[in-house]
Amino acid sequence: MLIYIAIAAGGLIILLAMLVLGDLFGGDHDLAHDVGHGETDHGGPSAFSVRIMASFLTAFGVGGVIARHFGLSHVAASGVGIVCGLVMSTVVYQFARVLYSQQASSELHMGGLVGVEGEVSVAIPSGGVGQVAVNTAGARSEHIARSSDASAIARGTAVVITGLGGDSVIVARASGNRQRS
């Protein structure tokens, strides 16, 4: 019975540590992503997150303890523990999915900037980088910018984002070449 108690306690300690220290160390992680088994979708919670696995361990241990208390063999107690762990981790996973779906995202997708008009906020020197300000989705954002033809573009000039280049946007003067003060 002690092994089941240890497993339940270990899972509970992990869950409590995540509750207390989660924000300090980045919260929940997807273990498959952490060990390098490819890209994860990040379109919701992962079934292999530390939180889900710790809830499985806790429920497995508790189920095993209860089964052993009623005199079941270790094999039967392990079976009960697996069922309890699967049920609990499924409940936690579904709850996490509901919470994740309610989350609002203010993330700006860089690909959505192509074609958006903005204004040069820091002059772009010939062959160099400057900065442009754009308004998208009701929010103003600033981006490092390069001229599409490597020419200088003065502060206040209206530009259109024509592409992306690494950590910067590629811009060209907007039609009409108007300049604001």
**Tokens coding 21:** 């220290």
**Tokens coding 89:** 């981790």
Which element (helix H / strand E) includes 65? helix 50-69
CA–CA dist 132, 121 (Å, integer): 5
CA–CA dist 158, 177 (Å, integer): 7
Query: How confident is the model over 122-153, as pLDDT tens digits?
Result: 999 998 999 999 988 778 889 999 999 989 99
Q: Tell me the whole-structure pTM to 2 decimals.
A: 0.52
Block residue for tokens 């009960």: 80
- Four-way CATH pick for 110-173: 3.40.50.300, 3.40.50.10440, 3.40.640.10, 2.40.50.140: 2.40.50.140
Query: How confident is the model over 30-85, as pLDDT tens digits?
Result: 544 444 444 444 567 788 888 899 999 999 999 999 999 999 999 999 999 999 99
Eight-state DSSP code of residue 108? P
The structural domains of the chain, with segments of one domain joined by +, span 2-101, 110-173
